[in-house]
Amino acid sequence: MPTMTQHFVTFYSPGTFIAEETTKPIDAWDTTIALRMAAEVTERHGAKPCAFAFTTRSRGDADLDSKVVARGALHYFGVNVETLADIEARSAPADRTLIANMRGNGYARVVTTTSGWKATMPLRDGDVVLP
Protein backbone atom coordinates (compact mmCIF):
# COMPACT_ATOMS: atom_id res chain seq x y z
CA MET A 1 0.00 0.00 0.00
CA PRO A 2 1.77 3.25 -1.14
CA THR A 3 2.10 6.11 1.30
CA MET A 4 1.76 9.76 0.31
CA THR A 5 3.96 12.23 2.22
CA GLN A 6 4.14 16.03 2.08
CA HIS A 7 6.12 18.62 4.07
CA PHE A 8 4.47 21.84 5.28
CA VAL A 9 5.51 25.05 6.99
CA THR A 10 3.08 26.88 9.27
CA PHE A 11 3.68 30.59 9.77
CA TYR A 12 2.59 32.33 12.97
CA SER A 13 1.76 36.05 13.01
CA PRO A 14 0.63 38.22 15.95
CA GLY A 15 -3.15 38.08 16.39
CA THR A 16 -5.66 39.63 18.76
CA PHE A 17 -5.80 36.75 21.25
CA ILE A 18 -3.98 33.92 19.51
CA ALA A 19 -1.54 33.74 16.63
CA GLU A 20 -2.83 33.91 13.07
CA GLU A 21 -1.68 30.85 11.11
CA THR A 22 -0.98 30.16 7.46
CA THR A 23 0.19 26.71 6.34
CA LYS A 24 1.85 26.11 2.98
CA PRO A 25 3.49 23.10 1.32
CA ILE A 26 7.29 23.13 1.18
CA ASP A 27 9.70 20.73 -0.54
CA ALA A 28 11.93 20.23 2.52
CA TRP A 29 12.45 21.47 6.06
CA ASP A 30 14.65 24.34 4.89
CA THR A 31 14.79 27.45 7.11
CA THR A 32 16.21 29.64 4.31
CA ILE A 33 13.28 28.84 2.02
CA ALA A 34 10.79 29.22 4.89
CA LEU A 35 12.14 32.71 5.68
CA ARG A 36 11.74 33.71 2.02
CA MET A 37 8.19 32.35 2.03
CA ALA A 38 7.41 34.24 5.27
CA ALA A 39 8.07 37.55 3.51
CA GLU A 40 5.10 36.81 1.24
CA VAL A 41 2.62 36.07 4.06
CA THR A 42 0.31 38.80 5.37
CA GLU A 43 -2.51 38.09 7.79
CA ARG A 44 -5.50 40.16 8.85
CA HIS A 45 -4.75 43.76 9.77
CA GLY A 46 -1.39 43.51 7.98
CA ALA A 47 0.25 41.20 10.54
CA LYS A 48 3.46 39.56 9.31
CA PRO A 49 4.91 36.26 10.58
CA CYS A 50 7.42 36.16 13.44
CA ALA A 51 7.68 32.35 13.70
CA PHE A 52 7.24 29.14 11.77
CA ALA A 53 7.28 25.39 12.32
CA PHE A 54 7.67 22.48 9.93
CA THR A 55 5.45 19.41 9.81
CA THR A 56 5.33 16.33 7.65
CA ARG A 57 1.97 14.72 6.93
CA SER A 58 1.39 11.27 5.55
CA ARG A 59 -1.47 9.02 4.51
CA GLY A 60 -1.87 5.62 2.94
CA ASP A 61 -4.39 4.57 0.30
CA ALA A 62 -6.80 3.30 2.97
CA ASP A 63 -6.57 6.48 5.09
CA LEU A 64 -9.41 8.99 4.88
CA ASP A 65 -7.14 11.90 5.82
CA SER A 66 -3.47 12.54 6.43
CA LYS A 67 -1.88 12.77 9.87
CA VAL A 68 1.17 14.60 11.18
CA VAL A 69 4.05 12.10 11.33
CA ALA A 70 6.82 14.61 12.19
CA ARG A 71 6.81 18.04 13.81
CA GLY A 72 9.78 20.42 14.02
CA ALA A 73 10.75 23.10 16.52
CA LEU A 74 9.16 26.52 16.55
CA HIS A 75 11.55 28.93 14.79
CA TYR A 76 11.31 32.63 15.75
CA PHE A 77 12.75 35.45 13.64
CA GLY A 78 12.68 39.23 13.96
CA VAL A 79 12.41 39.02 17.74
CA ASN A 80 14.33 40.06 20.85
CA VAL A 81 14.88 37.53 23.62
CA GLU A 82 14.54 38.64 27.25
CA THR A 83 14.75 36.76 30.52
CA LEU A 84 12.50 37.31 33.51
CA ALA A 85 15.50 38.93 35.24
CA ASP A 86 15.96 41.35 32.30
CA ILE A 87 12.34 42.45 32.48
CA GLU A 88 12.31 42.74 36.28
CA ALA A 89 15.48 44.89 36.14
CA ARG A 90 13.71 47.46 33.95
CA SER A 91 11.27 48.16 36.78
CA ALA A 92 8.71 49.44 34.26
CA PRO A 93 5.12 49.59 35.56
CA ALA A 94 3.91 48.47 32.10
CA ASP A 95 5.70 45.13 32.64
CA ARG A 96 3.75 44.15 35.80
CA THR A 97 1.32 41.86 33.96
CA LEU A 98 4.09 40.28 31.87
CA ILE A 99 6.17 39.60 35.00
CA ALA A 100 3.17 38.08 36.79
CA ASN A 101 2.38 35.87 33.79
CA MET A 102 6.00 34.75 33.44
CA ARG A 103 6.24 33.89 37.15
CA GLY A 104 2.82 32.22 37.25
CA ASN A 105 3.48 30.09 34.16
CA GLY A 106 7.14 29.33 34.87
CA TYR A 107 8.44 31.14 31.76
CA ALA A 108 12.14 31.98 32.13
CA ARG A 109 12.42 33.72 28.73
CA VAL A 110 10.15 35.47 26.24
CA VAL A 111 10.51 36.75 22.70
CA THR A 112 9.08 40.10 21.58
CA THR A 113 8.61 41.09 17.96
CA THR A 114 10.84 43.91 16.70
CA SER A 115 8.65 45.18 13.86
CA GLY A 116 5.00 45.27 12.91
CA TRP A 117 2.45 44.33 15.54
CA LYS A 118 4.04 43.94 18.98
CA ALA A 119 3.65 40.48 20.46
CA THR A 120 5.39 38.79 23.37
CA MET A 121 5.45 34.99 23.56
CA PRO A 122 7.14 32.43 25.81
CA LEU A 123 10.42 31.00 24.53
CA ARG A 124 10.29 27.32 25.40
CA ASP A 125 13.02 24.70 25.52
CA GLY A 126 13.59 23.44 22.00
CA ASP A 127 12.44 26.65 20.31
CA VAL A 128 14.94 28.20 17.89
CA VAL A 129 15.71 31.92 17.47
CA LEU A 130 17.07 32.70 14.01
CA PRO A 131 19.33 35.71 13.43
The string of pLDDT tens digits covering residues 24-76 is: 999 999 999 999 999 999 999 999 999 999 999 999 988 889 999 999 999 99
Q: By the 8 A CB rule, do 22 and 42 touch?
A: no
Give me the domain span that covers residue 68: 3-76
- 68 plus 20 within the same structural domain: yes
pLDDT for res 17: 87
Q: Residue type at 125? A: D
Helical (H) or strand (E) element with 72: strand 67-76
- 15 plus 67 within the same structural domain: yes
Q: By the 8 A CB rule, do 75 and 128 touch?
A: yes
pLDDT at 1 over 70: no
pTM: 0.92
pLDDT for res 62: 87
- 9 plus 71 within the same structural domain: yes
Torsion of the alpha carbons at 9, 14, 19 and 21, rounded to the nearest 10: -30
